[in-house]
Structure 1
Amino acid sequence: MSEVSIIGLDLAKNVFQMHGADASGTVLFRKKLRRDQVLKCLAAQPTCTVAMEACASSHYWGREIGRLGHAVRLAPDYVKPFVKRQKNDAADAEAICEAAQRRTVRSQVDGKLIAVNFTEGQDVKKGDVVGEIDPALYQATYDQAVAKKAQDQAQLANQRIDLTRYEQLAASNAGSKQQADTQRALVAQTEALVKADQAAIDNAAATLSYTKIVAPISGRAGLRQVDQGNIIHAADTTGLVVITQLQPIAVWFSLPQQQIMRVNAAAAKGALAVDVFGNDGVTVIDTGKLTGIDNQVDQTTGTLRLKAEFPNANYQLWPGQFVNVRLKVETLMQALVVPTSAVQRGPIGTFSYVIGEDNVVSAKPVTVTQQNEHDAVIASGLSANDRVVTTGFANLSDGSKVVVGRDDQTPSADLAPRKRSRGPDAQKKDGAKDGQKDGEPRAKRSSSEGDQKGQTGPAPGPGATGSGAKQP
């Protein structure tokens, strides 16, 4: 027997899988045992190396197995091959959502609000009437301007007839030419007065139209600021309601100034895609494009502001909401990618444990070009056929022989702490110790309890020796 492996199957029930193999790797036995049974089985085995997964109980196993004289080696519980695939070069940042447009709907005239034609949170379109002001006063002004124009037009018509008569008299020398010229000037003056009347009508019509408050943009109405029946003024700053455009929606974020060059270079080639993530930080809830880059760096933070626009078809983004975004700067084709956990750091740089023949690991220096919390892009040091160690690095060194775990061997986490159980031998020992140490007090307690139960009179005197004793 050269090596025995222990794999946790169900830690909640203390069930483990144990199998032994000889020097050639041939499995000699495979058993599913409980923790106490595993220790008994190891005690019956000759001296060997015990390979086990690195877990929270590694210290316990190392102590118990060491007492039996076996060597303990923690084996990596998961190994991944090198992956050659497409890799996106992206920049992550925290962002805040802002409405593409936001308008406060105000009245342009003073008056009594007689109607509110929207509900709070309703989607409105540009030009929809959201409120109405009493138009009586402004309608009267309009009618007055129309009547004044009609009066001046009638006067103009009479003056033109008189001008024709005076011109005929002047032509036959039957009338004065001065009279004809005076009449001609009077007609021109009345014509200008009619034009002024028309301007007054247009002004009154515009003012009358302002009694209907319309939405300036399409969007979603907020909370109503003024109730029906109140007097509103054009000078009011609060307005009737605030309308916010949610589709599309803008997202502002900042990047360090060190990334300006590569972002500008990528933006010059075409539009850059931007992903926004949900609350879990993993799910992409919307994808948009970069629409603007600020023209200066904020000197207080050393960052550059950028703006992206998202369709927001399902209204998953909201103005003022904080989100995480990822700007896709470049796509690396056929990149060699490994999990970030496979890249270790030593005194001379980064390296990875590569599993070779007979499951013997060797440390190889690697060059990492890009890295995030999940993946690392390797420029040199590994090949596409290598297998790298991702977990279980405790007591792992160059030249060690390992046992490769599988996904289905990963121990499941406990929902809550388990009740600590004790073996039957320990319970017997504890019972014996308790009997030896606590025997006399228990006897005393039993006798005192008997006294309390059997004695109904006054307490016994100093000469009493027990509950059954009698005075001579």
Structure 2
Amino acid sequence: MKLSLKTMIAALLLLAAAAVAVTSLLPPPIEVETSTVIRGSLTVTVREDGRTRIREKYVVSAPVSGRLARIDLQEGDALTASESVLAVILPSEPELLDARAQAEAQARIDAAAAHVSRSEATVGQIQVQLDLAEAEFARAEELMQKNSISHADHDAARAAFHAAQQSLSAAGFDRRIAEFELEMNQAAARQFVDDPQASADPFTIHAPITGRVLRVFQKSSTVVSPATPLLEIGDPRNLEVEIDVLSTDAVRIQPGADVLIDHWGGAQPLHARVRVIEPAAFTQVSSLGVEEQRVNVIADFLDPQEQYTSLGDGYRVEGQITIERLDDVLLIPNSALFRHRHEWHVLTLRDGRAVLTPVTVGQQNESHAEITAGLQQGETVIVYPSDRIADGTRVQPVSVDQPDR
């Protein structure tokens, strides 16, 4: 039976009306934020809390026994080497300074003299290393200008030069302290004389370095014996950063790695460089009650000291340590990733619908992840997917998320 033209038109209109009715009953597409799969560089970092500390501290102890006069110095007071008076001790009565005490004093002199000799030899050795590191860094600078050296080799040469400079500074401090201890012990030995008046002269201790008072252990007048701690001194201008990281992260950190210091209270972040990763780990209980093995990473500031004059010893900071930099890799935001059946997945956007897509994840940092399989450059993924979205769900993109890498 042949259908008339009017019947066919009526049927088509009926089908169209039915389609419109069905479509109107479907739920509207879910609005989603999306991001484009890009190819770029990824800097892998570790972020942990840390604290500042004065690189070199020294505890000043009593070189002789006697009565300590009240120490008027306060924490934070400025000191000038060889000028500022740290403490005054009235030595014990001459009859208490017997032959045994004299022998002990001579032994301390011999030990201090040996310390001076060792520190001088160390300074000489480090000076040779510094000269070599400086020459290597100068060559690396020339090669870098000619693009004849990798960034990693250039950074390694720069780190070696910087580390040698810091080592020489530390060795110089150790030598000054050794010389101070030798002078103190020699002066103490001169108290053992036959002249009672000479033995009763007050013993004055001057500051061995220019810096500040960090702590006062004995403030009130009291009787002290040799080696009794009196004060702790140091130079707050010579700060370093101590950051404790998980031991699993510490094995990936190399000396010379860049460190970004933020949340320290200043307006701008500071820059530092890893000098040493301590060889021994320690156990620390996390806020969740889990025992963790952690390692201290020590870094030196690179910015001029004028930029962080308000920082002191033991101040809290946050450190972001660079572990690795990957170039020319596929990247997506971490917010697009989720676990499904124990594997990483994303939801891609195809023809207005969400498509469940398994992916293989490589390295990650705080914002982005490297994708080694499952996606192509230019594809669109859904970020912050809610539990309302499943494979095949109709979606409508409303914005594009592209945070910094």
Specify the TM-score bucket, using the shorter chain as the normaliser.
0.5 to 0.7
Partners of 1:210 and 1:291 in 2: CA distance: 44
Indicate conservation of the 8 Å contact 1:257/1:304, yes or no: yes
Which one-letter code corresponds to 2:60 in the other structure? V
Partners of 2:332 and 2:377 in 1: CA distance: 10
The one of the two structures with greater contact order (alpha-carbon pairs below 8 A, sep at least 6) is 2
Provide, for residues 414-457 of structure 1, a one-character-per-residue CA deviation record: whole Å limited to 9, x for no partner. Answer: xxxxxxxxxxxxxxxxxxxxxxxxxxxxxxxxxxxxxxxxxxxx
Indicate conservation of the 8 Å contact 2:67/2:91, yes or no: no
Does the residue aligned with 2:232 lie in a helix, a strand or coil? strand
**Superposition RMSD in Å:** 4.4
- Match for 2:334 among 336, 340, 347? 340
Which moved further from structure 2: 388-397 or 205-214?
205-214
Whether 1:295 aligns to 2:287 is no
TM-superposed CA distance for 1:368, in Å, is 0.8
Whether 1:328 aligns to 2:322 is yes
**Which residue of 1 is the match for residue 208 of structure 2?**
216
TM-superposed CA distance for 1:276, in Å, is 3.2
Which one-letter code corresponds to 2:48 in the other structure? A
**Which residue of 2 is the match for residue 203 of structure 1?**
190
Partners of 1:105 and 1:319 in 2: CA distance: 18
Indicate conservation of the 8 Å contact 1:291/1:308, yes or no: yes
**Which residue of 2 is the match for residue 380 of structure 1?**
373
- Match for 2:349 among 346, 355, 358? 355
Does the residue aligned with 2:279 lie in a helix, a strand or coil? coil
Pairing of 1:46-125 with structure 2 (within 5 A): 71-76=27-32, 78-109=33-64, 110=66, 113=69, 116=72, 120-125=75-80
**Which residue of 2 is the match for residue 365 of structure 1?**
358
- Match for 1:130 among 82, 85, 89? 85
Provide, for residues 3-34 of structure 1, a one-character-per-residue CA deviation record: whole Å limited to 9, x for no partner. Answer: xxxxxxxxxxxxxxxxxxxxxxxxxxxxxxxx
**Which residue of 1 is the match for residue 392 of structure 2?**
399
Partners of 2:218 and 2:251 in 1: CA distance: 50
Change (3 A) 1:329 1:234: same
- Match for 1:237 among 221, 228, 233? 228
**Which residue of 2 is the match for residue 247 of structure 1?**
237
TM-superposed CA distance for 1:389, in Å, is 0.9
Does the residue aligned with 2:41 lie in a helix, a strand or coil? strand
Change (3 A) 1:386 1:209: farther
Does the residue aligned with 1:127 lie in a helix, a strand or coil? coil
For normalisation by structure 1, the TM-score amounts to 0.47
- Identity rate of aligned residues, in percent? 17
TM-superposed CA distance for 1:390, in Å, is 0.7
Whether 1:275 aligns to 2:260 is yes
Change (3 A) 1:375 1:407: closer
Structure 1: gaps (5+ residues): 1-44, 50-68, 139-198, 409-472
Partners of 1:224 and 1:257 in 2: CA distance: 36
Partners of 2:187 and 2:341 in 1: CA distance: 87
Which moved further from structure 2: 298-307 or 94-103?
298-307
Partners of 2:267 and 2:380 in 1: CA distance: 29
Q: Which has the larger radius of gyration?
A: 1
For normalisation by structure 2, the TM-score amounts to 0.53
Which moved further from structure 2: 337-346 or 84-93?
84-93
Provide, for residues 348-392 of structure 1, a one-character-per-residue CA deviation record: whole Å limited to 9, x for no partner. Answer: 621222223x43332322111123443222222223312221134
Does the residue aligned with 1:341 lie in a helix, a strand or coil? helix
**Which residue of 2 is the match for residue 24 of structure 1?**
none
Partners of 2:235 and 2:210 in 1: CA distance: 6
Partners of 2:241 and 2:248 in 1: CA distance: 21
- Match for 1:308 among 298, 301, 305? 298
Which one-letter code corresponds to 1:71 in the other structure? P
Which one-letter code corresponds to 1:366 in the other structure? V
Partners of 1:317 and 1:246 in 2: CA distance: 8
Indicate conservation of the 8 Å contact 1:249/1:309, yes or no: no
Provide, for residues 258-295 of structure 1, a one-character-per-residue CA deviation record: whole Å limited to 9, x for no partner. Answer: 446533xx44xxx2222333169x99743322222333
Structure 2: gaps (5+ residues): 1-19, 94-185, 285-290
Which one-letter code corresponds to 2:262 in the other structure? F
